[in-house]
Structure 1
Amino acid sequence: MISDNKINPTPKQREAIHTKANPAVIYAGAGSGKTRVLVSRYLRLLLKEGYRPGRILAATFTNKAAEEMKERVAAQLLESSDEEIIRELNSAPICTLHAFCRRLIESNTLKLGIDPGFRVTQEYEVRLLQEESLLVVFDRWRSQHPDRLKELVENLSWRSDYRLRRGRTPASRGFSRQFLAMVDAVRCAGEFREEPFRPLSVDFESNQKFADDCLKILNSILADSRSLTENSIRRATTAQRGLRLYLRVSGDDKSKYDEIIGLINELKGSLSAPLRAVKDQIRNELLPQLRDEVHADVYEKIRTILNQLHANYLVDFSDRKRELGVLDYSDLEETALELLSSALLQKPVVDCILIDEAQDLNPMQWKIINMLAEDVPIFAVGDAQQSIYGFRHADVTAFARAAQNAEAEGGVKIPLEYNFRSRSEILGTVNKIFTSLWKESSDVELLKLLAGYQYPPHDSKEGTHKVEMLLSAGETRQKAREKEAQHLAQRILQIVKGKSFKVHDREGKTTAYRDPQWHDVIVLVRSSSSIRFVEEAFHELNIPCIASTGIGFWDNLEISDLMALLRALEDPGDSFSLACVLRSPAGAFRNDDLIHLRFNLEENPDGIAESHPQRRSLYQGLQEVADKSAEKDTLARRAADFLEIFDRLLQMKNRLPTRLLIETWVNETDLEAFWTSQEGGESKVKNLRKFLRLCDSYGSLSSSALREMFDDVRMREVREGQAAEPFSTEGSVAIMTVHAAKGLEAPIVAIFDMNYKPRSNTGAFVHSFSNGAAFCLQDSNRRLVELSNYFHTKKEIKDKEDAENERILYVAMTRAKEKLILSASKNSGGERRELRGWFADIQRHLNLADNYLFEQNVEPSGPVSLINKENIDTGLLLNRQWQTEHLYISTTDQALKLEEPVGSPPPGFPAEPEEKFGPTSVVELLRKDDSIFAKLLIDEDFASGEYETAESGASVGQWMHLLLQKLPFGSDETAWRECSAREGTKLFGATPGEELVEDAICMLRNFFESKVADKAHRSAKFLREFPILFRLKDQLFRGKIDLAFDSPAGWTLVDYKSDAIDTTASESVLEKYGHQLRLYGLGWRALTGELPHRLILFFLRNGQAVQVGLDEEEVQETLNLIPD
């Protein structure tokens, strides 16, 4: 028997290695030794059953897995002394399925009409070609079919992205990203490629019958309404009227449908128990069908246009790839399937198929496998519980079906439930949670894990609890995460350096147990946005760490500047990128310099006219102004010095490797010396050197291709961590996302930020493997209209995302060998807000009481065993942050330090008062004409109609801001009138009229008598008209915060609005204002290190205060509006 030399196979492993059944589906649990089984199976086929290496397809998920398998097989074959088999192994198809498809195509290129020298594109190249093809189609439509574009803009909804529809096409980044993602999904599914958007199926008679059934149920419930609340009765009665009205209309009469849907839609919210089932039926089935009836004609028109867009795009995209002689990964799958389906082409000779990670195959890949396996045995290894690549269109249900159907087809399904990685205590917790979580799941068949490796006994102090829960608390979500990271850092420091915990040395080189080292620890997160909290906390305690993915590197100014340089070298006419270079330390130009370079101010001395008659590119401005003979510090001399270096690089960009271009720039501008002289500059120098190493790693790429690749990496958030410190002999703690850790293991694993809950990926377009693509409409008021196919597909996607999120937690927990730490935190915004994400799953399925976890006085101080609601020990150790404050090292408070309340901002900080033109003006003037100006979101007057106009043209809004800055809290109406007259005369050039003054007094009264003003007056610190300067997405923003005041919960930012609007009705205006104020909040974070506690829009004319949300989704939506 062929087996691993160290561990004998279990009976189930032995059965899997030896089985002759076909198909054989191996349901391999986490840590069950599936790779060892796969290698042993392969060796048996070679040495015992007479198969040749070249005729066994062993398909793996990654190239790394293929190389590992080939190395293991080769090592075993060396003992057999069969040199011929060893030679054949070098070219054997132990590879990814894409690599195998490529082999098939290379053998048939001429018959397929494909360039024999074709190459496979990288993902970043594919994205560029896709964007170019879509834009080409839109350009063609703009001239040939403008009516199609008009229909899309007026009727298709892509949610928040509609605000980016400026110019002549709807090809915003949001639209293109969502449309191209839909195209990818259709190609991976292999269904409905010719017509991805399917027609509606409207059946008026069936809808009427269903409505009648629902009405009968409502009538029955309302007939005995004793168990119903007043609210439930009111809503049910309203829906009852709507159903009756619907049953009286004819199928062709749509005039009453808005009223009907509005009435029926009232059956929502928290209702009494008898109404819940019929509410779900009406909302999930009937209402979408009624919307279908109303919008069927519009849907069919947009469906036709989108299918035409899809077809036109695919033609252009295919033509571009053919011209370049390239194929993408979907091409490999599609062409291989075409080859296998054709009787005219040479098919591969495959006698046996082995598949690794079968749960991660997409539908197209399953079609290829099934086509190959028609006449040959198949051996598939996978684990539906570890399927976490739904975003790559993996179909977990296909593997689950294969496992369920194996025995019915005369094959076998063999479970491998013994886990050789984790301690039994860890496996017990995993089983307990997921037995409850998946007991009703249709996608996943639970495989309980059993301990397959017996750890020898030991006497360390921490020998009882192998799973623990760390809980932390903070006043805000931001502070709670910071506290949580500090708590986790201190706990890991205690484990590694406290001499109380030992890890087992399985290699047996020294002793059975040893002290843990830093490299024994992995910290896992669900989202890369959580990584920075852990990094900062670890750095404070001098814990060496490496973030294999995370935010930071690409967002550093020194790296952004180099990326801007690559863009400017690619296109010197890109004034915005060149402006970033000029304003960087290497350029050292000021804002005023950029305005002078952009405009011929000598010929336009009064400034910049609205029509911008003298506009030129920055590069042209540099060339026209440059004078090497000018005095040293003049603009002309600095322009000449800059061009001397820049033009030389421009001439060499196609001849020198990118690394040498960047290195020349860094050396000749003394960038390293500059950053070394700055506080914290050492890390920036390391980042510069890391960027050079990355350039070196892709030496064959041109500077423009390299820049595009880096941009794609950043856009897709596959991000590098900060440049690492030199390793110590103990290594470093690894911080990574769960996806990056797939296949890894460590003695100590911590899962951080378990309150995080990812956003749903549904947008304008949704896709289902079985039903094709669907889209969301909007009505004339830009309200979303979700028809039945979109509604049901969106729900299906949401359910799949939730199920996959649970499987990601399973993968995370099963990485741990000896210690598993579950870390979560609570903010003071309310108890129910904390029940989210993985923490909510664990709390619910371990039956834990919320107050038991978070109330400080429930348990004595110090770590305790975690008991559930039934007073049963869960096997977890509870360690709460407020019970272990003595563990913490104090950190510096980053909040603003003001000695006393002030009524005006500190002069000159942080804006640049000596310059005439502010960064916001610079950004506006440098953007291309068809771009979305950042000014639209940050300037006070971005919304038309915000301020009324006085006789002189000065705005009432400006006047009110002056008054609210000058007048002290507690002042009376006499002071208001005096100040109004004085400041109004200065502003308008004449004494403001009585009516205007009364209007101002009314607005002042509304504010000074409000709760907002009272809280600001009673606060310890407040700021008025406070200037801020900050950078987002490589753009500089400058603005003023009208009012900011501190409180125990944190800072509140207030933005005055003098609109005469109804805040309950003007949703679009409120939304725009919300984005504007949220940007101020981001600027506040850039200044103070944390987001404000609260954002408030105060409408002076009616005294209404509207709070603006600041949760992660809302902040991200605002960031998405800023053009890259």
Structure 2
Amino acid sequence: MINKLTDSQIKGVETTDRDICVVAGPGSGKTRVLVERFANLVIEHKVPVNEILTLTFTEKAANEMKIRTARLFEQKEMEKERQEIEFAYLSTIHSFCARLLRENAIEAGIDPQFRVMDELETGRLKEQTLEDTLREQTDEKTLDAFLNGIFWKQTDPNKSRLKSFKENLIQLYEKIRNACVPISETANQSDLSQDIVNSYNEAEKLINKIKEIRSGKKLPDKTREKVDYVLDQWATSNLQKNINKLIDIKTPELDSITLALLNKVKCVHSSINLQLSKDVKEACSSLRDELENLIGLLAEDYSTSIKKILRDFLVNFDIACSERKKAESLIDFTDLEVKTIELLENKKYIADEIKRKFKYILVDEFQDISGLQKIIIDLIRSKNNLFIVGDEKQSIYGFRNADVEIFQDIQRNTDPESLISLIENFRSRPQVLDFINHIFNELWPGSQTGREGNHIDEIAPSMDSTQQLKAGAEFSDKPFPSVEIIVAEGKDKTEARKWESMEIAKRIKEIVENGEVRITNKRERERNISYRDFAILFRSTTDIKLYEHSLSHLDVPYYVISGRGFFNTTEITDLINLLKVIESPLDEINLAAVLKSPFVGINDDALFWLTDHAHSSNKKKLLCEALDEVGAIKEIEAHSRNRIIQFMKFMNEVQVIKPRTSLWNLISFILRKTEFQSKMLLFSNGKKRYANLLKIVELCKNQEDFKPLTLRNFIEIVEGYKFREIRESEAPVESEEDDVVKLITTHSAKGLEFPVVIIADTDRDNTRPSDYLVYSKNHGISFKILNPLTNEAEVPLSYERINDEIKEKELRESRRLLFVAMTRAQEHLIISGGINKDRAIGDNDKGNWYGYVSSTLGLNPDPEENPEIIKLNDNKRGQNLSQTIEIRHTRIKEENKPPKESKRIKLLTQYKDEIAVCNKIQTPSPSKEIMDTGTNILSTIMHTVEIDNSHYVYSVTEILKFHFCPQLYYFNSILGLQGINKRCWIEPDYVENENKLNDDEIPGRELGNIVHRVFKKYHLSRLNLFGQAKDKNVLEEYIKNELSVYGLDTNQKSIELVANWVNSFYNSDVGKEVVSSKLHKGETSFIFNYRHNLIRGQIDLFYFNKKGLLKIIDYKANDIALDEIPEKVKLYQLQMQLYARALETIYEKKVDETILYFLVPNKPVAVDTTVKACKELDSTLDSFFKAHKDGEFKKSSGQKCKWCEYEGIC
């Protein structure tokens, strides 16, 4: 294989005697170099697999490397190494940190069973902690005064200024944590006295110069008057006296002196008018600039005291966050890095042990590492064992704390023999590469030795002749240009985007139907382009719905990989509106939204008459009161009136259930009762909407596992996520391999490639409002402050400089992001933008992509003046064009007609009213409606599709469902369909049994969940030597809390039932062995690799007894008799065998015994997990993964079909 590599790639694979820095351009085969280097170290240098550490940027990249390396070992018949790669140190840096901390938990001072929080959970914990810290340290009066001083106005008119402050404070806190600086050192306290004096002296020199000019030259009358006014203001301000006071007095009055001086300087500054004659204009302009500097210095000095207050508050907030996380054994992603650094710095012997262990370290995507990650790598690396791969031109994750300067510094300081450049591109057509080289030769003209700008240390990338992308792949000839520019014009940006999106949809359809673009790379089979070959890339998804609408309009199938986000989808918004009404029925705005939504589905006329009835009667009423009197409003049509009456009955039912159940159960009930999910199937993207509603229930359940939630809590959490734009992805329903156009952000497309790339919405400025609380290592914390004498904001010098740095860095990253977007294209690149007639060309200074392209190509600001084919054949700055570049240029005028309506639009128009309110044209029973809908969906999707599931993690439950019935698994786990009846696939009689329960009895499923949670939380340290609870009250309190979480009655009978089970278990022989064991772990999640397929699950309890034997226990809370146990064991045998297989894989130790413990009738039963007994398991796993590969999930018929929840649609 190595003989197919280029010379530069071979050098990267084979050089092992020094540190290596590889600069890998896009499409240059860097992953292959990493894989080949790993294999070369193992094969040629005999380095054991577990002595190579490989760090990647994403889990997906890590999995891809594992698969490719394992495949390479398999080809060389190296079975031992192929198996070892599954457990190799090949992961993201976060996974490596987590592994290291777990292995050294005692030394790190953390709970070995810590759990890493996701972004949602981390955000919630910080918000709660901030609330508590504010409550403890301030009252309403002092907090208001503090906000007056620091946060002079709210950042968003839709939020209170307190809410804005909280969000900005958390953002600031994270920036400081990732800067590797103690919070206590973030308030810059340097003495500014001398700087202030120096600035004043410079201003005084300029005043003297102006006086000389005034007396020495005859100035025009108007100029002389303006100069005299400035000199008078200077003289009367008596700044020198105030400056002396500022230097000499060090008392609490210092702030008032600084403030007085600040306002006097501002008076002088405001007196300067630059409409002057040439003689004096330059000196007055210099004076104004110097006074602005002096104002900034004085504002800086004045802000010092309040900076200390903010710093001290952040210190306390940090302590509170740490204590809360420690108490609950939680860690966030930043903690993983910080605690790893502390471990390695404080326990040097662990760092030395890692250095001895790992002979070589490979790091991918080095341009995107953060300062914390660089410290970790420096602490574990040895001399001449580091191999890094990166490309400064593709550093686009600054918002995730990536620091491109780290890679640039290494690149600059590496000797030429250790620096390898991969510039051959094996992805894109030469014409596409020539176009990219031309654009960026203009945008990045500097060499690697020069630096851009005055504010930051970042090196300007270079696209000189040595750095330009070179074609490494051969393509067949193509008669059409490979680059297109589409410009749509509108009276405003919104209209321009509308025309642009329509032209994109039209162009995609033309290319597919006319066969204009083909796959021509000679490594692949030549064929026509299909929809799956298109990707539309966006910098921002703010207006993505416009583009979705245009694609739907022309029946172009599409799939949104990165949209506006899960929490902003219509169906989630509708559900949250309903939850708000349930929480607060008096909220008229949300109630009106719910009445119009598919939950009720009344039309505008009905809503008008309801509102009219409420507001025009003698005694004005609320909208919710008008609902009770809907029968008296004759103007409302009968079908709308019936809907409202049904809604009121439903609301009454919800209010009864609400206090008696958990929140996720309540939401499940709402969706089931209103058939809201089934209604979503009637809309476009119905399957995705359906899946999103399933996901919100799951998210709610996960949040409640963290801490019990009230309805108000959950609404606030979701609203917080929406405001902070947390990017929770929508639930996936389509495969990316379907024949669909992909809509994706450029950030998400990093590392991917597509035959046709359309970069849309390029005439969007890269501008955002400045943060109110900012931080940099050089200047510390800074913010605008309120001037109490003028009631205006003052801008400290540090705030201005930090913001200049931020804007400069963001503009540079914007250019790199454009580079990444363009280099995703293989065969064809389309750049499109919608421009405003009043501004026909983008503004370069604001990071406008269309502005970059149009100015580089020399396009006329009037699109009509540009030719249809633009030709580039010059050789500016050494650019080496493989041939003349032809670019197709299309202009869309405002008066263009929209495309003809598709059949789908005509259908929606024909039945507009019925579909808008989810009216059924013929109204069958609800159950039949669901069955018919499900049958129709299945008829369109039941076909064989080969899907790549290599990166998916399957659950044990999914495998058990498949074993029970492949088709049931397909309906439930792949399609996400909700069954007709609430039935359990493994416990067919649970519904019937639950219907027979008395009011004070616990349903079986909830009982099982409660028992597991009690066993998880009630620690063994609370048991005495006889396996009984030391404190009965503590145990009962645990049980009571868990009953409350599930909304169940906390009566003594239920509490004693569960308490007796806990005591009985620990008093049994098995329980006593657990209590006396060397090591035990409860509720342990695992992932293990079965023939390149990942399987996850959770084991109730496993332990190593005194003899060191490994045993597994799974609790069962079924209420059964002794003679029923053998039948139940058969149901769970496969599950227990899977658990044993997982632990044996992970711990590399044989499981001695696998026990099903039936709490009723207190009976342990051993499950056979011998090789012979596990034949059925192996057969099931092989069938499971084969079914996924073939896309065939056959029905398993039998008696069980009678009670299956999918009986009606199977």
Task: Give the structure-2-normalised TM-score.
Answer: 0.62
AA partner of residue 143 (structure 2): L
Aligned to 1:405: 413
> What is the match of residue 515 of structure 2?
499
Which of 785, 796, 803 aligns to 2:805? It is 796
Q: What's 1:427 paired with?
A: 433
- Following superposition, the deviation at residue 36 of structure 1 comes to 1.0
Cα pair distance change 1:842/1:674, threshold 3 Å? closer
Equivalent of 1:823 in 827, 832, 840? 832
Distance (whole Å) between structure 2 residues aligned to residue 272 and residue 546 of structure 1 = 63
Aligned-residue offset at 1:159:
4.6
2:535 partner SS: strand
Moved more, 352-361 or 689-698: 689-698
User: 1:569-604, CA deviations, whole angstroms, 9 ceiling, x for partnerless residues?
Assistant: 899999997886677553679999999x99xx9xx9
**Aligned-partner SS, 1:472:** strand
Q: Is the 8 A contact 1:185 1:767 kept in 2?
A: yes
Contact 2:598 2:679 in 1 (8 A): yes
In structure 1, stretches of 5+ residues that fail to align are 610-614, 622-631, 893-909, 911-1124
Q: Is the 8 A contact 2:439 2:853 kept in 1?
A: no
Partner amino acid for 1:827? Answer: N
Map 1:292-303 to 2 at 5 A: 292-293=297-298, 296-297=301-302, 299-303=303-307
RMSD: 4.8
User: How do 1:195-214 and structure 2 match up within 5 A?
Assistant: 195-202=185-192, 203=194, 204-212=196-204
2:124 aligned partner: 128
The amino acid that maps onto 2:759 is I
CA contact 1:522–1:734 (8 Å) conserved in 2: yes
- Kindly provide the CA deviation profile for residues 24-80 of structure 1, in whole angstroms up to 9, marking residues without a partner as x: 111111111111111112222222223222222211111111111111111112234
Name the structure 2 match of 1:1114: none
Shift of 1:95: 0.7
Of 163, 169, 178 in structure 2, the residue corresponding to residue 179 of structure 1 is: 169
Partners of 1:67 and 1:276 in 2: CA distance = 65
Mapping of residues 207-356 of structure 1, within 5 Å: 207-212=199-204, 248-251=240-243, 252=245, 255=260, 257-264=262-269, 287-293=292-298, 296-297=301-302, 299-343=303-347, 346-347=350-351, 348=354, 349-356=357-364
Q: Is the 8 A contact 2:437 2:469 kept in 1?
A: no
What is the 5 A alignment of 1:837-876? 837-839=847-849, 841-843=851-853, 846=856, 848-851=858-861, 853-854=862-863, 856=864, 858=865, 862-863=868-869, 865=871, 875-876=885-886
Q: Does 2:823 correspond to 1:814? A: yes
- 1:847: Cα distance to partner? 5.2
Distance 2:373 2:104 in 1: 19
Aligned AA (2:429): R
The aligned amino acid for 1:59 is: L
Q: 5 Å matches for 1:316-715?
A: 316-343=320-347, 346-347=350-351, 348=354, 349-375=357-383, 377-407=385-415, 412-440=418-446, 441=452, 442-447=458-463, 448-458=467-477, 460-462=478-480, 465-504=481-520, 508=524, 510=525, 513-551=526-564, 554-565=567-578, 585-586=598-599, 639-645=648-654, 647-648=656-657, 651-653=660-662, 661-662=667-668, 664-671=669-676, 681-683=682-684, 685-695=686-696, 701=702, 714-715=722-723
**Counterpart Cα distance in 2 of 1:819 and 1:36:** 24
Separation of aligned partners in 1, 2:545 and 2:85 = 45
CA distance, structure 2, for counterparts of residue 353 and residue 61 of structure 1 = 14
Contact 2:601–2:643 (CA<8 Å) still a contact in 1? no
- Corresponding letter in the other structure for 2:166: S
SS at match of 1:846: helix
Contact 2:677 2:690 in 1 (8 A): no
Kindly tell me: are residues 641 and 72 of structure 1, through their superposed partners in 2, closer, same or farther at Cα, counting changes over 3 Å? closer
User: What displacement does 1:775 show?
Assistant: 1.5
Match of 1:1039 in 2: none
Which one has the largest radius of gyration?
Answer: 2
Match of 2:1044 in 1: none
Instruction: For residue 552 of structure 2, give the secondary structure of its aligned residue in structure 1.
Output: helix
1:832–1:592: structure 2 CA closer, same or farther, 3 Å change rule?
A: closer
Looking at structure 1, the residues matched to 149 and 157 of structure 2 have their Cα atoms a distance apart, in angstroms, of 14
The DSSP-based 3-state class of the residue aligned with 1:368 is: helix
CA distance in 1, matches of 2:217, 2:500: 49
Aligned equivalent of 1:963:
none
CA distance in 1, matches of 2:77, 2:645: 77
Instruction: Mark the CA change 1:752 to 1:274 in structure 2 (over 3 Å): closer, same or farther.
Output: farther
Partners of 2:300 and 2:797 within 8 A in 1? no
Deviation at 1:475, TM superposition (A): 1.2
Count of residue pairs brought into register by the alignment: 843
Residues 1052-1073 of structure 1: CA distance to partner in whole angstroms, max 9, x if unpaired? xxxxxxxxxxxxxxxxxxxxxx
Contact 1:526/1:738, CA 8 A, preserved across alignment: yes
Per the TM alignment, residue 788 of structure 1 is displaced from its structure 2 partner at its CA by: 1.0
Q: Which has the higher helix share?
A: 2
Aligned-pair distance for 1:633? Answer: 7.2
Report the residue type matching 1:382 in the other structure: G
- In the TM superposition, 1:1006-1045 aligns within 5 A as none
| Post-superposition CA distance 1:252-274 (Å, at most 9, x none) | 36646424334436779999999
**Compared with structure 1, are the counterparts of its residues 78 and 531 closer, same or farther at alpha carbon in structure 2 (3 Å cutoff)?**
same
Structure 1 residue 722 displacement after superposition: 8.6
Instruction: Label 1:272 to 1:322 Cα distance change in 2 as closer, same or farther (>3 A).
Output: farther
Give the letter for the 1:701 counterpart. Answer: N
Find the residue that maps to 2:683 and give its secondary structure: helix
Q: 1:841-920 alignment to 2 at 5 Å? A: 841-843=851-853, 846=856, 848-851=858-861, 853-854=862-863, 856=864, 858=865, 862-863=868-869, 865=871, 875-882=885-892, 889=899
- The question of whether the paired residues in 1 share the 8 Å contact of 2:692 and 2:730 is answered with no
User: 1:162-173 to 2 correspondence within 5 Å?
Assistant: 171-172=162-163
Which letter does structure 1 place at the counterpart of 2:162? Answer: A
Q: Work out whether residues 476 and 522 of structure 2, in 8 Å CA contact, stay in contact via their aligned partners in 1.
A: no
The answer to whether the 8 Å contact 1:767/1:773 transfers is: yes
Q: Distance in 1 between matches of 2:367 and 2:144?
A: 43
For residues 659-700 of structure 1, what are the alpha-carbon distances to aligned partners after superposition, in whole Å with 9 as ceiling and x for unaligned? xx53x4334224467678xxxx52375454122443577696
- Larger deviation: 584-593 or 312-321? 584-593
8 Å CA contact 1:106, 1:116 repeated in 2: yes
**What is the Cα deviation at residue 782 of structure 1?**
3.8
Query: What secondary structure, in the 3-state scheme, does the structure 2 residue paired with 1:546 have?
Result: strand
Question: Are the aligned partners of 1:767 and 1:793 in contact in 2 as well (CA < 8 Å)?
Answer: yes
Q: TM (normalized to structure 1)?
A: 0.66
Aligned to 1:1058: none
Paired with 2:506 and 2:404, the residues of 1 have a C-alpha distance of 39
Q: Distance in 2 between matches of 1:756 and 1:495?
A: 26
1:673/1:820 Cα in 2 relative to 1: closer, same or farther (>3 Å)?
Answer: closer
Partner Cα distance (1:276, 1:545) in 2: 61
Q: Is the 8 A contact 2:537 2:744 kept in 1?
A: yes
Mapped partners of 2:69, 2:285: distance in 1: 56
**For residues 1042-1086 of structure 1, what are the alpha-carbon distances to aligned partners after superposition, in whole Å with 9 as ceiling and x for unaligned?**
xxxxxxxxxxxxxxxxxxxxxxxxxxxxxxxxxxxxxxxxxxxxx
Q: CA shift at 1:482, angstroms?
A: 0.9
**Which residue of the partner structure matches residue 999 of structure 1?**
none
Letter of the 1:526 partner, please give it: R
Report the Cα offset of residue 211 of structure 1.
2.9
